[in-house]
Amino acid sequence: MAKIYAPNSPEISEREIQNMDRARRIAGQTMVLLENKGVLPLAVTDKPLSVYGSGVRRTVKGGTGSGDVNSRSVYNAEQGLEEAGFTIASKAWLDRFDQICEKHMQEHLQHFMSLLQENPTDAIRDSLENPYRDPDVAESTPEELGDGDRDLAVYIISRTSGEGSDRHVQPGDYELSQGEISNLKTLTEAYRSVVVVLNVGGVIDTKFLRAQPGIDAILLMSQLGNISGLALADVLTGKVVPSGHLTATWAENYTDYPSADTFGHRNGNVSDEYYSEGIFVGYRYFDSLNIKPAYPFGYGISYTTFSQRTNRVSIAGADIVVSVTVRNTGSLCQGRETVQVYASQPEGKLAKAYQVLAGFAKTKELLPGEEETLAIRFPVISLASYDPDTAAWMLESGTYYIRVGTHSRNSHIAAAFRLEQTVVTSQLKNRLKPDESFSEISVSPARFYTYPGEAQEKKEAFTLDLIAKAIPSETIQYSGAPVELTTNKTEKVIMDDVLAGAASLEDLTAQLTPEELTELVVGSARGGFGSASVIGAASTACPGAAGDTTSSLLESRNVRNLVLSDGPAGLRLSKTFVADSQDNVIPGLGESAMGGLEKYFGVQAPDRPADAVDYYQYCTAIPIATALAQSLDMALVEEAGDIVGGEMELFGVTIWLAPGMNIHRNPLCGRNFEYYGEDPLLAGMCAAADTRGVQKHPGRGTCIKHFALNNLEDNRSFNNAHCSERASREIYLKGFEIAVKQSNPLSLMTSYNLLNGLHTANSYDLVTAILRDEWGFEGLVMTDWGTTGGELNPALDNKYGTSDAALCIKAGNDLVMPGSQQDVDVILEALKNGSLTLAELQLCAMRVLKLVMICEKAV
C-alpha cells in the first residue's frame, strides 16, 4: 500500500486556476515577434476575424513522448481569441478540416491495430517513432472565405515533434506544406494583410513567409502548454507586448547549418555522428563564417522601440561589469527589452569564434519615455577556452572586446580588455579524447562577419588591463578508487537511525548485503518490454510517474522509495486513477499517462470494487523549454520551476526528470523543443533557474539531462557521437557545469548515446572525473529509461552494442532505470567475477540512500 497524495475531487481546484494564470503570464513573455509592418497588435472590434491553419483548433501545447503533460484541458487558439472578444468568421473551413483530421486519425489507428496483431513490440515502437500527425491543411474555397470583412486574416502554422525520431527537411515539417503555401497565397490575395503565427517547437523554413506580399506580421508563438490559446490572444491584442528573443539561429537555408548534410539520417549513417564543426555551433558558426541568417540568435522585436546606452564597463574583483541604460523610445505602449553582452576573444594558439554570449539582463516593463539601468556581471574566467593539448582552461594573451547589443548581428564594441600573458584558469586531465581521428572545420578571423565602423570601434575602444595574478586559477585533484565500507555497529541500522543522527549513511550501507545493495541501484520495475515500466509509466506510488526506486528495504530498513516523474513541460502523470478503501491503486482503472494506449495491448480493465475511490492528477503544462529560454528572464524560468515544484508536493513526486538541456546543434533534432537553445551559457542559466524554482520546495529535486551530447533521436541508444574534447567541454558540457555550480540539482540523467566510443552511462570520465571531481556535483546520477536494454530504442544499426548495467555502477552512474531483473543479474555476476568491486557498488547505493535521506529530512 502506497500513500496517496492526489485529491479525490474532480472539481477544478484553486491550484489549477492559479497555476494556469501564472503560466499564462509567463507564456506572454516568451513569444518572439519576427516581423510587423504595423498590423499588430489587433484591435478587438465587432468585425468577425478570419483565422485559418492547422494550429487554430489543433493548437500544439508541446512535443510528444516523455515531454508531454496530461492536463485537464488545453485552450486552443480559437478559444483564446473568442475569449478575448473576437467572433470567428472562418468556422466553415475549421469544421471541414476537423472532419479531414478525424478521418486521418482513424486510418492511423487502423494501421496501429494491424501492427499490433502482427507484433506488439513493433506496434509500440512505431507509436513512439511515428506518433499521429495531422494531414496537410485543406485549401480554402471561395465559399469559405465568405463575403465578410477582408481587412485581415490570421494563419496559424503548427508542427509537432517528439522523442524517438528526428525531423525531416520535407513539406509539412521543416518546410511549409503545399497546402500551407496554397492557402497563404489565397489569403494574401483575398485580404489586405495576413498575420502568420508559428505554433512550432523548433526552426522552420521562413523564406516563403518573408517573401510573400501581404504577409505583414510573423509571430513565433512557440508551444505554450495548456493555456496556449489564451496567451496567444494576449499578445495578438497587445494586452501583453512581446519581448521574447530567439535562442537558436534561424537559417536562410537549411543547408547553411554546418551539420546539415551529415546529421543523423541525412547521410544514411545513424551509427556515427561526427561533430566536425567543433566549437562553431549556432551563431558561433554563422558569425564566424559570415553567413547571413534569416533571423539571428537573440533576435526579437516589440510593439515599441528602445535605445541602449553603455555607461561603463569595469572590473570588479574577478568579474567584468557592464552598465547599460535602456529607454523606451516609443510613444504608444509599454514594453521590455533585453541587453545582450558578447565577448570576442583573441586569436592565439586556439581558434576562436567571432563572439560568444557573456551575459544578459532584461528590463522591467518600461512606459513610453521611461528608462532603466541594468548591470550585467560575469566572471573573467568564463571567457577561457579549453586547450586539449595541455588539458587546461586558459585565457590566452591579447585583447578581449566586450560587445553590447540586442542580438548577435546587432552588437557593438563597448570596451576592450588587454591581457599581457596567458593564464591557466583550471588545470585538468584529458578525459574525452576522440576514439578516432576526423577533420574539424577551419575558421580564421579573415572570414568573420563585420559591419561598417567596427574597425574604428576597436581603435577607439576604452581599454583596461587584466592583471594576470588577479585571475583565479585551480588544479583539479581527482578521486581514486573507492574504499570498501565497514561498520562497528553491531545492532541493525535503519534509516530512522541515520535521520536521528544515531548512525551514519556509511554504517547503514556497510550492513547491506550485495543483493540489497543491488536492489537499491536498480529501479523498481522488473517487467519486460511492452510493460508500462519501459515506456515511462512505472510508478506504483504515483500512477503515471515514470518510475520508482526500490521499496524492498522499506520493511527491513525503513528506506522509502523515490518517485520520479517525466517532464520537462510539467509533470506527466495519469489524469485519473482508482484505489480501494485501503489505498491500494487498482491497475487498469482510470486514465493512464499513456493516454489509454495500454488497452490496445489487451489489458482489460478489472471490475470496479464497491469501495473504489477516484483520484485526480491534473497537472499544469507550462511552456516548452525553448519558449521559456526565449523570455531571457531567469525569474520567469524560476517561477515555471516553482509551479512544477508545488505540484510535485501535491502529488507526491520526489524527482522531476527535467530540465533537458542539450544544445540545439541542428534544427532537425526531434527533441529540441525540450531544450533551451544553441548557447551553453543560456542553457546552463535556464536549467539553474528551473532547478531553483523546483528545489525551493522541501524534498523535491530536478534531474538535469541528458548528459551528454544527446543531439539526435534516430538510433539514439546506439549512436556514437565523435566529438573533440574542446567542443565537448566548451559547448556540450558547459551548460551542465553552470547548472551544477549555480543550483546544485539533486540528480542528473546520463544519455542513451555513446561519446567517443563509450556509452555515456558507462563513462567514468564523464560521470565521476568531470561531473564530480571537476565540478563538485554531490547528487545522484541515473540512466535514461531502458539504456541497458535498448528496448525503447530499436537499433536501426546496432554497431556498438548496448550500455552495460555493471559498467554503469563502475562509472559512478548510481541508478539504473527503470530497472530489470537482467540488470540485477548482470551487476551481481560482475561482483562475483571481480570486474565490479563491492566498494564501487556500495558508493552508488549510498548515494541513492543519501537522496532518500535528503528528501525524508525535508518533509
Provide the grid cell at 504: 551514519
| Phi then psi dihedrals of residue 80, to 5 deg | -65, -45
Can you read off the three cell numbers belonging to residue 682? Answer: 543560456
Per residue in 163-189, pLDDT tens? Answer: 989 999 999 999 999 999 999 999 999
Q: CATH number of the domain that 170 lies in?
A: 3.40.50.1700
| Domain finish residue from 446, 475, 504 | 475
Between the alpha carbon of residue 206 and those of residues 31, 197, 380, 615, 678, the distances in Å are: 17, 12, 38, 46, 19
226 and 317, same domain (yes or no): no
Alpha carbon distance 220, 198 (integer Å): 5
Instruction: Look at residue 240 and tell me whether its pLDDT is greater than 90.
Output: yes
* Shared-domain flag, residues 205 and 78: yes
Whether the per-residue pLDDT at 790 is higher than 90: the answer is no
Q: What is the spatial distance between Cα 852 and Cα 559, in angstroms, rounded to a whole number?
A: 7
Reading the block at residue 794, the C-alpha cell is 530499436
Residues 693 and 547 in one domain: yes
318 contacts: CB under 8 Å, gap ≥ 6: 379, 380, 381, 470, 471, 472
> Are the C-beta atoms of 710 and 751 separated by less than 8 Å?
yes
Instruction: Please enumerate in sequence order all residues whose Cβ is within 8 A of that of 398, keeping only pairs 6 or more positions apart, or say none.
Output: 345, 346, 347, 348, 418, 419
Which three three-digit cell numbers place residue 679? 548557447
Cα Rg of the chain, angstroms: 27
Number of domains in the chain: 4
CA 403 to chain centre: 28
Q: Are 736 and 844 part of one and the same domain?
A: yes
Say yes or no: 82 and 128 in one domain. Answer: yes
- In the structure grid, which three cell numbers stand for residue 98, read together? 476537423
- pLDDT at residue 552 tops 70: yes
470 and 397, same domain (yes or no): yes
Which CATH number do you get for residue 821?
Answer: 3.20.20.300
Report the SS3 class of residue 319. strand
pTM of the model: 0.96
Over 80: is that where the pLDDT of 124 sits?
no
- The whole domain housing 160 covers 31-65+72-240
- Name the grid cell of 34: 519576427
Specify the pLDDT at position 531: 43
What pLDDT was estimated at residue 105? Answer: 87
Q: What is the pLDDT of residues 67-107, one digit of tens each?
A: 788 899 999 999 999 999 999 999 999 999 999 999 888 88
Given this model, what pLDDT does residue 587 score? 84
Asked whether residue 225 is domain-assigned, the answer is yes
pLDDT, one tens digit per residue, over 507-523 is 999 999 999 999 999 99
* Closest to 249 measured CA to CA, from 659, 658, 663, 633: 663
Residue 170 CB-density burial (10 A; 0-12 exposed, 13-18 middle, 19+ buried): exposed
What DSSP letter does each residue of 811-856 carry, written as one string? HT--BBSS--HHHHHHHHHHHHHTSS-HHHHHHHHHHHHHHHHHHH
What does the pLDDT average to over 116-145? 77
Q: Would 275 be classed as within a structural domain?
A: no
Confidence of residue 405 (pLDDT cuts 50, 70, 90): very high
Q: Is the pLDDT of residue 537 over 70?
A: no
Is residue 796 included in any domain, yes or no?
A: yes
Nearest-5° Cα angle at 188, 217 to 86: 65
What CATH number does residue 422 fall under?
2.60.40.10
Which candidate, 562, 571, 567, places its Cα nearest to that of 523? 562
Q: Residue 523: what residue type?
A: G
Q: Which helix (H) or strand (E) holds 695?
A: helix 680-695
The C-alpha cell of 359 is what? 551575459
| Predicted pLDDT at 596 | 54
DSSP state of 688: H
**Which pLDDT score, from 0 to 100, does residue 529 have?**
38
Task: Assess whether 591 and 728 both reside in one domain.
Answer: no
- For 720, phi then psi, to 5°, come to -100, 115
Instruction: Tell me the C-alpha distance between 670 and 168, whole Å.
Output: 9
CA gap 90, 53 in Å, rounded: 10
Q: Please state the rounded mean pLDDT for residues 225-242.
A: 99
One domain for residues 144 and 47: yes
The domain boundary residue, chosen from 616, 632, 650: 616
Residues 153-165 have a mean pLDDT of 95
Residue 295 φ then ψ, to 5°: -140, 125
pLDDT level of residue 723 (50, 70, 90 thresholds):
very high
With a cut of 60, say whether residue 469 has pLDDT above it.
yes
Last residue of one domain, picked from the residues 475, 507, 534:
475
- Three-state secondary structure call for residue 309: strand
Residue 198's identity, in one-letter code, is L
Of 568 and 37, the one with more pLDDT: 37
Structural domain includes residue 257: no
Same domain, 660 and 691: yes
Give the model confidence (pLDDT) of 619-643 as tens digits. Answer: 999 999 999 999 999 999 999 999 9
Residues 844 and 772 in one domain: yes
**CA distances (Å), origin 123, targets 531, 639, 715, 784, 827:** 13, 39, 17, 22, 31
| pLDDT higher than 90, residue 108 | no
List, in order, residues 6 or more apart from 515 with CB less than 8 Å away. Answer: 828
What pLDDT is attached to residue 598? 56
Residue 374 CB neighbours (<10 A): 20
Share of the chain above pLDDT 70, in %: 95
In a domain? residue 765: yes
- Burial bucket for residue 481 (CB in 10 Å: 0-12, 13-18, 19+): exposed
In a domain, 490, yes or no: no
Residue at 256 is within a domain: no
**Strand order across the beta sheet in which 474-475 lies:** 385-387, 392-395, 423-427, 474-475
pLDDT for 131:
73
Residue 512 within a domain:
yes
Q: What is the DSSP letter of 41?
A: S
As annotated, the active-site residues are 784
Dist. CA 503–CA 487, nearest whole Å: 10
396 and 458: one domain?
yes
Closest C-alpha to 659, from 630, 637, 634, 631: 637
Distance separating alpha carbons of residues 791 and 785, to the nearest angstrom: 9
Report how far residue 568's alpha carbon sits from residue 706's, in angstroms, rounded to the nearest whole number. Answer: 12
Tell me: pLDDT of 527 over 50: no
Check whether residue 543 and residue 655 sit in a common domain.
yes
Point out the least confidently predicted range of 18-22, 136-140, 734-738.
Answer: 136-140
Q: For 453-467, what is the mean pLDDT?
A: 97
